[in-house]
Chains A and B, each alone.
Chain A
């Protein structure tokens, strides 16, 4: 049993860290909210990201990808979190994996892998789940949901290369019998959903509708390193196939694992920075890091970071090694733990920074923003606790009907 990164993974982590630091150095927070760079890399930076192979990592070789493991992806994403990289890489990885799971055409996936098609995942507006995905894997019964439905006939907007194979083979079987209530009227599919981590993205896909949408301007979003955008007009149809339950659960586990890794990197950065500050800031004639009250706060933060690291590794390993449902259960636990812990660590960091931590100039708020927004993406801890409670801590009479 070996539960650490391999030497190859450590080397990969170092190379990811170098590029992530470079990208972060090219992004400026400015003097305030009106002066900040958008969280979208320019063409040159995006080309570097694509050249590094990051966008191709999770896709299989036949789809123009590299076929890396979820652990490899977690290694990359931890560094993106650590350097608070303001580029929609996690969103792209998530959207690519979703489309691969829905068996999107290989050439479309290859375009995403190469960075030529910039695409974002679509979440429900409450951010708790992928939009228009059957509820089996992430949704609770009371969660707002779009679709699935038969794809609207968008005719002329379909581009020549994709969606030509007719008829689309999704939508014919309506899984789990939810279709009868979920069919949206044409034109309302984009309501109640948001493209997530969508800065600079050309479009976002609602898989259950087999439709890619253009994206509207970014909505206000607390995380200054990412953008969320409402959907605009339909852009094209894509030939997709509804995945089985196990594949959908695996997709959920994958997406949650990426967010867990992002939270890990974010909290590690906040802790490291707070520790460095505590070593140099003096009050009462001593470095504040020598005070027990400060030491205890930071020690607790370190414990949470290390536990989250273990959870991140387990969650990513489970995506690669366990059946979808088990991987999803593990990913829920890991994401719930990381969500709560990352916020606590980032809040502790701000406390250690004191007044400086409350300024725009200091980076502490960027980590806290990212932690809070990541926490909500695909469900915060309360959401996952509720799902686990419903499945595992219900009285026998209700657990039978509920699961």
Chain B
């Protein structure tokens, strides 16, 4: 049992800290997904972080990672948050699908761009008719010689507007039971027949899009894993997407607490005793989440159960949504008056229980696959 950095981890942490102190100022401002300029700056930041060796550190070195234990992803997350840097690119789950399932040829072809952040990727999973019930997806990929022909529509595709590649779930075997008929393909978003339309979120963020596939040709060599293995790969990925550290989240919540603490102790915001106790309770929650994530990352490895990601996600939802209620109350009138950031952050906390599988779906996963309760 050791929650502390060993010497190698401490050295890694110190190295990242010193890199940040030297380079962060160049990239820190104006990132986000609200405008084309902000997106461009975000991608510049991702590229710089990747060039410095701080992206996908837990992935194998031969594909552009650093082959470090998963706990190092937590260190990156913590240090970026502590430095108030923009988050790292959320690509760990996509990278795991490619690294763990794709052919060597495909890996060699696409991983350098993914892990180097020189090419942006998106994830084509949800459809208008397949949200929580993802396995009901109807986008098809019909085998035709040495290629697949893709037809259908995806939605909530994060980053699709500026992506070069899409990791796409499509039905290749319409006659098989629905979970077994899905395959995972790497689709070039510059192919003819791909049409993207931006979705503006309630917060104003323009990160999401709808993507339409009209007879899009995809080389058979771009199949990830086997035909019919798509569901299994997706579940494998979700373990990483649902882990809060992978999505750059836990550190940021710690930062929210630190900011609140500073605002109260400096007298910038005032809190009565009841609110101060709620702040303390929220701080306790975030600390417990940090310890829990540290434990999850330290224990995660090849063959670990993807359901554990659902536990972490559920814990994050509970803690984050409560945290924002508390800091909104601390913000008082400035929750609704003035710059839109506070309200946008609050809206995003509401999305936490929807994307990556809703809170209700995660609970069913925990109940059925971890606790062994019967399906109806």
Contacts and interface: CB of A to CB of B under 8 A. Distances in A.
Given A333-B287, A337-B284, A392-B261, A3 B3 contact: yes
Nearest to A69: B1
Interface of A is mostly: helix
A196 interface: no
A166 interface: no
B4 interface: yes
A302 B366 contact: yes
A164 interface: no
B373 A303 contact: no
Given A4-B295, A290-B376, A389 B371 contact: no
Contact of B9 (A1, A287, A310): A1
A6 interface: yes
B305 interface: no
B374 A279 contact: yes
Contacts, number: 176
A321 B3 CA distance: 9
Given A2-B298, A3-B3, A395-B267, A279 B288 contact: no
Contact of B288 (A299, A311, A390): A311
B146 interface: no
Contact of A336 (B284, B299, B367, B374): B284
A337 B318 contact: no
Contacts of B366: 299, 302-303
Interface of A: 1-6, 9, 71, 275, 278-279, 286-287, 289-292, 294-296, 298-300, 302-303, 306-311, 313-314, 316-318, 321, 330, 332-334, 336-337, 381-382, 384-386, 388-390, 392-397, 399
Contacts of B271: 393
The 8 closest A-B pairs by CB, nearest first: A295-B367, A310-B292, A299-B363, A299-B366, A389-B276, A388-B280, A289-B373, A3-B298
A298 B314 contact: no
Interface string B1-16: 1111110010000000
Given A299-B366, A388-B280, A395-B265, A290 B3 contact: no
Contacts of B4: 1, 321
A303 B314 contact: yes
Nearest to A295: B367
B372 to A, nearest CB: 7
A384 B277 CA distance: 9
A342 to B, nearest CB: 13
Interface string B339-376: 00000000000000000000010111111101111111
Interface in B280-308: 280-281, 283-285, 287-289, 291-292, 294-295, 298-299
Contact of B372 (A275, A303, A316, A384): A275
Interface string B192-228: 0000000000000000000000000000000000000
A179 B81 CA distance: 45
Contact of B367 (A287, A296, A332, A388): A296
A2 B296 CA distance: 10
A3 to B, nearest CB: 4
Contacts of A290: 373-376
B82 interface: no
A275 B369 CA distance: 13
20 contacts: A1-B4, A1-B9, A1-B69, A2-B1, A3-B295, A71-B1, A275-B371, A290-B374, A295-B364, A298-B371, A303-B318, A307-B289, A310-B295, A317-B2, A337-B285, A381-B284, A386-B273, A389-B276, A392-B280, A393-B276
Contacts of B278: 385
Given A275-B371, A303-B314, A385-B280, A1 B288 contact: no
Contacts of A336: 281, 284
B279 interface: yes
Contact of A307 (B281, B292, B373, B374): B292
Contact of A295 (B265, B281, B368): B368
Interface centre among B6, B277, B283, B365, by most A CB within 10 Å?
A: B277
Contact of A3 (B287, B294, B311, B368): B294
Given A313-B295, A333-B284, 11 more contacts: A1-B3, A2-B1, A4-B1, A292-B376, A295-B367, A303-B311, A303-B318, A314-B291, A333-B287, A392-B283, A393-B265
Given A3-B1, A279-B373, A385 B277 contact: yes
Given A290-B376, A296-B360, A298-B367, A389 B277 contact: yes
Given A1-B69, A290-B373, A307 B280 contact: no
A299 B280 contact: no
Nearest to B367: A295
Given A279-B373, A310-B292, A317 B281 contact: no
A58 B204 CA distance: 57
B352 to A, nearest CB: 14
B270 interface: yes
A399 B267 CA distance: 11
B1 A299 contact: no
A382 B273 CA distance: 12
Contact of A396 (B2, B266, B276, B368): B266
A4 B360 contact: no
A337 B288 contact: yes
B134 interface: no
A390 to B, nearest CB: 8
B42 interface: no
A326 to B, nearest CB: 11
A393 B291 contact: no
Contacts of B376: 286, 290-292
A78 to B, nearest CB: 13
